[in-house]
């Protein structure tokens, strides 16, 4: 069956359905055939080395990136259909970015209410009430009148979560929500996300926080080189990985102090097959990883 | 490395410490300044200067209701041209960022044309529209003519500034707006443009200051006295008195407009930085 014949399952529980998703930037293939389904209330954590395509996958789901090939259904409606009402479908998925992307010219309350008023055409008073409610949900009920610049990174990210929640979305997409935060601020954001997960929100989370993935995720996707290498419950994928690539990645992430210099570069070059394979047995000559001329930044 | 060589090579004569050297240079600078002031005081005849540039009786005569009219006219010419330039400049900036090729080309041609020719020619050309198209006249003449002519010229400059401002807004802002379901147009209007205008407030104010001064070009138009602005007014008086004093007064009037303007913007910037950074 070719991908163009794929039909959505029609099951209300299958909120995000991704079929044979490909994405290239010019000659660089970032995603090479991703197929997966995220179910209602499920928390899916996407892990993997940098450049593995996990952020691209997430950005394809709400079409911030246009897939090269493949189809994506949101609530059984195809978002990759050229005639889809993408703006409306996006109101059903909240997105949280690595760099917060709060609107700096608006207060926290205005950040949360602007789309309610302008997109959902809610009454401004009603919108304000919803915004305040969601700010309280993330523990920032008293900071409504602050501008983003007056808040810490952790607070800004929680406002960003409140902003997404204000739209009352069916699902939430998180793109490395804690990667830009100082370590001591990560906890607040993660605890808000844990509350969300406990409340039954459907979540797709690209993250490097292995402890969070292990504790909160229902399912973990390990991506490498543009494909899903391994997926399953966290205790299997993170606790007892079957694939060599997963094991190598986890050992580098969980114990970065004991990684040999250049290991990651070599692994990176192998994943992207950018360096010439001199001796033909799959091993790279020492050092080629780092200086590989075709290295992808 | 350098520390070693400086200690091993014995200095031939005693070097001054950097602090002492800086001190001496400063002393020399002050000495030159004092010398220049003394020379100027000795050679320049203060009385004669005052008679030419700032004769008290002419200053008094220059002040009057007509100066007030000219002052207000300068502001009206400038403000109208600025508003028109701002609107047209924004439209041109959006055209330059348009997906539709011909819009981009048109905007670029417009900008290059009006930046490349003297404003005075544009002004003269528009003042002759009534001759070229009999019966045609701009509304609120002569203000309308000046607004359109100067506005079209300043729009060319402002469009480049505004375009740069729009592009300076991080891409993540549009992504966040779109992810909330906003259309491209709404994202531009509600999210990008407010930030872009904040970024370009200082350069746009410079444009306003330039425009205030460019409004003096109006003096080439044949106008009734009610339409005089500062330069025309000052020049007429200077001609009839055969003295520069009225022009100096007119020049000082421009400063009355431009200096508070730059001060105001500097204050707005500081406040914005406090609020948003």
CB B276 to CB A149 under 8 A?
yes
Q: Provide the pLDDT for residue B10.
A: 56
Q: Is residue B204 part of a domain?
A: yes
Chain A: closest CA distance from residue B262 (Å): 23
> What pLDDT, in 10s, does the model give residues A8-53?
777 888 999 999 999 999 999 999 999 999 999 999 999 999 889 9
Considering only residues A55 and B269, tell me which one the structure prediction assigns the higher pLDDT.
Answer: A55
pTM: 0.80
The pLDDT of residue B23: 93
pLDDT at A292 over 70: no
Residue B70 domain-assigned (yes or no): yes
Nearest to A103 among B173, B275, B277 (CB): B173
- Nearest to residue B74, comparing CAs of B253, B273, B248, B239? B253
Query: Does a structural domain hold residue B192?
Result: yes
Evaluate whether A126 touches A205 at the Cβ level (below 8 Å).
no
Q: Are the beta carbons of A279 and A285 closer than 8 angstroms?
A: yes
pLDDT for res A101? 95
How far apart, in whole angstroms, are the C-alpha atoms of residue A93 and residue B23?
Answer: 66
CA of A88 vs chain B CAs: smallest distance (Å): 6
A105 contacts in B (CB within 8 Å)? Answer: 194-195, 198, 276
Phi/psi region, residue A209 (left: phi>0; alpha: psi -120 to 50; beta: rest), is: beta
- Select the residue from A115, A159, A170 to test the B interface by mutation, using most B Cβ atoms within 10 A: A115
pLDDT of A263 > 80? The answer is no
The least confident of A68-77, A257-266, B90-99 is: A257-266
Report yes or no: A66 at the B interface, CB cutoff 8 Å. no
Residue B203 lies in a domain: yes
CA distances for A201 relative to A15, A92, A94, A216, B77, angstroms: 11, 12, 11, 12, 59
Q: Taking the CA atoms of chain A, what radius of gyration do you get in angstroms?
A: 20
Q: How does the average pLDDT of chain A come out, rounded?
A: 87
- State residue B101's pLDDT score: 93
In 3D space, the residue among A26, A23, A33, A22 whose CA is nearest the CA of residue A294 turns out to be A26
- Phi and psi of A227, rounded to 5°? -130, 160
The distance of A56 to chain B (nearest Cα, Å) reads: 13
Query: Taking a C-beta distance cutoff of 8 angstroms, is the pair A94, A167 a contact?
Result: yes
Torsion region of A273: left, alpha or beta (phi above 0 gives left; psi -120 to 50 gives alpha): left
Which domain does B271 fall in, by range?
A: 62-276
Chunked into runs of 10 residues, chain B (277 residues) has average pLDDT values of 50 78 94 95 85 84 85 92 96 94 95 94 88 79 88 95 94 96 95 92 88 89 80 87 87 91 82 64
The answer to whether the CB atoms of B180 and A93 lie below 8 A apart is no
**DSSP letter string, A185-254:** HHHHHHHHHHHHHHTT-EEEEE-S-HHHHHHH-SEEEEEETTEEEEEE-HHHHTTS--SHHHHHHHHHHH
The 10s digit of each residue's pLDDT in A196-254 is 999 999 999 999 999 999 999 999 999 999 999 999 999 999 999 999 999 989 988 88
Residue of B nearest to A58 (CA): B179
B167 burial type by CB count under 10 A (0-12 exposed, 13-18 middle, 19+ buried): middle
Q: How many CB pairs under 8 A join A and B?
A: 67
CA distances from A229 to A67, A253, B2 (A): 20, 17, 56
In the sheet with A69-74, reading across from the earlier edge strand, the strands are A28-39, A14-25, A69-74, A77-78
Instruction: Please report how the helices B143-168 and B65-96 are oriented relative to each other, as an axis angle in degrees rounded to 10.
Output: 40
Asked if the C-beta of A148 comes within 8 angstroms of chain B's C-beta atoms, the answer is yes
Chain A: nearest CA to B70, how far in angstroms? 39
Q: Which residues of A touch B183 (CB under 8 A)?
A: 87
The answer to whether B175 and B42 are in contact (CB under 8 A) is no
The answer to whether A88 contacts B186, with C-beta atoms less than 8 Å apart, is no
Instruction: Pick A95's closest partner by Cβ from B179, B275, B277.
Output: B179
Q: Does A90 touch chain B (CB under 8 A)?
A: yes
Closest-CA distance of chain B to residue A130, Å? 15
Average pLDDT over residues A53-62: 94
Nearest to B181 among A87, A101, A160 (CB): A87
Q: Residue A120 phi/psi, 5° resolution? A: -85, 0
Cβ contacts (< 8 Å) between A165 and chain B: which residues? none
CA separation for the pair A81, A77 (Å, rounded):
9
CATH number at residue B188: 1.10.3720.10
- List the single best residue of A89, A97, A98, A101 to mutate versus B (max B Cβ within 10 A): A101
CB contacts, 8 Å: A119 with chain B: 180-182, 186
Whether B163 maps to a domain, the answer reads: yes
Instruction: Please tell me the number of Cα atoms within 13 Å of A213 on its side-chain side.
Output: 31
Look at residue A135 and give its three-state secondary structure: helix
- Look at the block and give the residue holding tokens 């994943």: A271
- pLDDT at B32 (0 to 100): 96
Residue B35 vs residue A267, higher pLDDT = B35
Sheet holding A43-47, edge to edge: A93-96, A171-175, A202-206, A43-47, A219-224, A227-232
B51 domain residue, yes or no: no
Interchain proximity A119–B181, CB inside 8 Å:
yes
CB contact under 8 A, A103 and B191: yes
A93 touches chain B (CB under 8 A): yes
Q: In angstroms, what CA-CA distances link B18 with A48, A202, B15?
A: 56, 67, 9
Q: Which helix (H) or strand (E) holds A147?
A: none
| Contact residues on chain B for A160, CB-CB shorter than 8 A | 176
Whether the predicted pLDDT of A284 surpasses 70: no
Say yes or no: A114 contacts chain B, CB-CB below 8 A: yes
Two tokens at A92?
């059903």
What is the Cα–Cα distance from B191 to A104, expressed in whole angstroms? 9
Chain A residues whose CB is inside 8 A of the B198 CB are 105
Place of tokens 């660089």: A28
Question: For chain B, how many structural domains are there in total?
Answer: 1
How close A269 gets to chain B, by Cα (Å)?
Answer: 29
Cα A286 to Cα A266: distance, rounded to the nearest angstrom: 8
Q: In terms of CA atoms, which chain B residue is nearest residue A116?
A: B180
* Most A-contacting residue of B169, B176, B194 (CB-CB within 10 A), to test interface: B176
For residue B275, the model assigns a pLDDT of 61
Structural element, H or E, at residue B241: helix B230-241
Residue in this structure with the two tokens 């001054």, named with its chain if needed: B16
Q: What is the CA radius of gyration of chain B?
A: 27
Closest by CA to A32, choosing from A224, A162, A209, is A224
The contact set of B with A (CB < 8 A) is 170, 172-173, 175-183, 186, 190-191, 194-195, 198, 275-277
B66 in a structural domain? yes
Alpha carbon of B219: minimum distance to chain A alpha carbons (Å): 42
Is residue B15 domain-resident?
no
- In angstroms, the CA B232 to CA B250 distance is 9
pLDDT digits (tens, 9 = 90+) for A142-176: 999 999 999 999 999 999 999 999 999 999 999 99
Distance, CA of B77 to CA of B81 (rounded, Å): 6
CB contact (8 A) between residue A147 and residue B170:
no
φ/ψ region of B10 (left if φ > 0, alpha if ψ in -120 to 50, else beta) reads beta
Other residues' Cβ atoms within 10 Å of the Cβ of residue B92: 24
Whether the CB of A179 is below 8 Å from some CB of chain B: the reply is: no
Long-range contacts of A279-288 (CB under 8 A, 24+ apart): A286/A262, A287/A262
Nearest to A47 by CA among A259, A250, A240: A250
């Amino acid at each position: 069956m070719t991908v163009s014949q794929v039909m959505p399952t029609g099951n209300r529980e299958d909120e995000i359905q991704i079929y044979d998703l490909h994405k290239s930037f010019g000659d660089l293939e970032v995603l090479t055939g991703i197929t997966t389904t995220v179910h209602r209330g499920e928390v899916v954590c996407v892990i993997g080395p940098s450049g593995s395509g996990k952020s691209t996958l997430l950005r394809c789901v709400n079409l911030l990136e246009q897939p090269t090939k493949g189809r994506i259904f949101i609530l059984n409606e195809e978002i990759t259909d050229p005639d889809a009402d993408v703006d409306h479908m996006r109101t059903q998925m909240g997105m949280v970015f690595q760099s917060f992307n709060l609107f700096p010219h608006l207060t926290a309350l205005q950040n949360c209410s602007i789309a309610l008023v302008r997109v959902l055409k809610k009454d401004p008073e009603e919108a304000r009430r919803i915004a305040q409610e969601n700010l309280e949900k993330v523990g920032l009920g008293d900071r409504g009148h602050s501008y983003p610049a007056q808040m810490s990174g952790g607070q800004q990210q929680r406002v960003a979560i409140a902003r997404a929640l204000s739209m009352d979305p069916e699902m939430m997409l998180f793109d490395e929500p804690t990667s830009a935060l100082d370590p001591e601020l990560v906890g607040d954001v993660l605890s808000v996300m844990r509350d969300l997960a406990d409340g039954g929100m459907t979540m797709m989370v690209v993250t490097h926080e292995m402890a969070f993935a292990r504790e909160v995720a229902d399912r973990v996707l390990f991506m490498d080189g543009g494909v899903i290498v391994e997926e399953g419950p966290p205790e299997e994928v993170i606790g007892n990985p079957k694939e060599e690539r997963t094991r190598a990645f986890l050992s580098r992430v969980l114990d970065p102090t004991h990684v040999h210099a250049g290991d990651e570069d070599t692994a990176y070059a192998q994943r992207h097959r950018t360096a010439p394979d001199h001796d033909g047995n799959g091993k790279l000559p020492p050092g080629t990883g780092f200086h590989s001329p075709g290295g992808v930044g | 490395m350098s520390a070693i060589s400086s200690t091993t090579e014995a200095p031939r004569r005693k070097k001054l410490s950097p602090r002492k050297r800086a001190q001496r240079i400063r002393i020399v600078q002050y000495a030159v300044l004092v010398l220049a002031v003394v020379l100027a005081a000795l050679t320049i005849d203060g009385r004669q200067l005052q008679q030419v540039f700032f004769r008290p009786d002419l200053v008094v005569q220059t002040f009057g209701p007509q100066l007030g009219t000219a002052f207000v006219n300068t502001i009206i010419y400038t403000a109208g041209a600025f508003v028109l330039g701002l609107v047209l400049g924004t439209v041109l900036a959006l055209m330059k960022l348009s997906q539709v090729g011909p819009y981009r080309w048109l905007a670029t041609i417009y900008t290059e044309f009006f930046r490349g020719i003297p404003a005075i020619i544009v002004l003269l050309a528009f003042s002759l529209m009534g001759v070229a198209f009999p019966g045609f006249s701009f509304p609120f003449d002569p203000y309308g003519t000046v607004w359109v002519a100067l506005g079209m010229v300043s729009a060319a400059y402002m469009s480049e500034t505004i375009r740069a401002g729009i592009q300076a807004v991080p891409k993540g802002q549009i992504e966040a707006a779109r992810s909330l379901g906003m259309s491209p147009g709404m994202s531009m209007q509600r999210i990008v443009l407010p930030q872009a205008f904040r970024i370009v407030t200082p350069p746009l104010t410079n444009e306003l200051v330039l425009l205030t001064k460019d409004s003096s070009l109006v003096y080439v138009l044949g106008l009734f006295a009610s339409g005089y602005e500062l330069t025309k007014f000052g020049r007429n008086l200077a001609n009839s008195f055969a003295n520069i004093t009225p022009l100096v007064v007119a020049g000082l009037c421009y400063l009355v407009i431009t200096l508070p303007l730059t001060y105001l913007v500097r204050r707005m910037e500081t406040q914005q930085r406090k609020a948003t950074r």
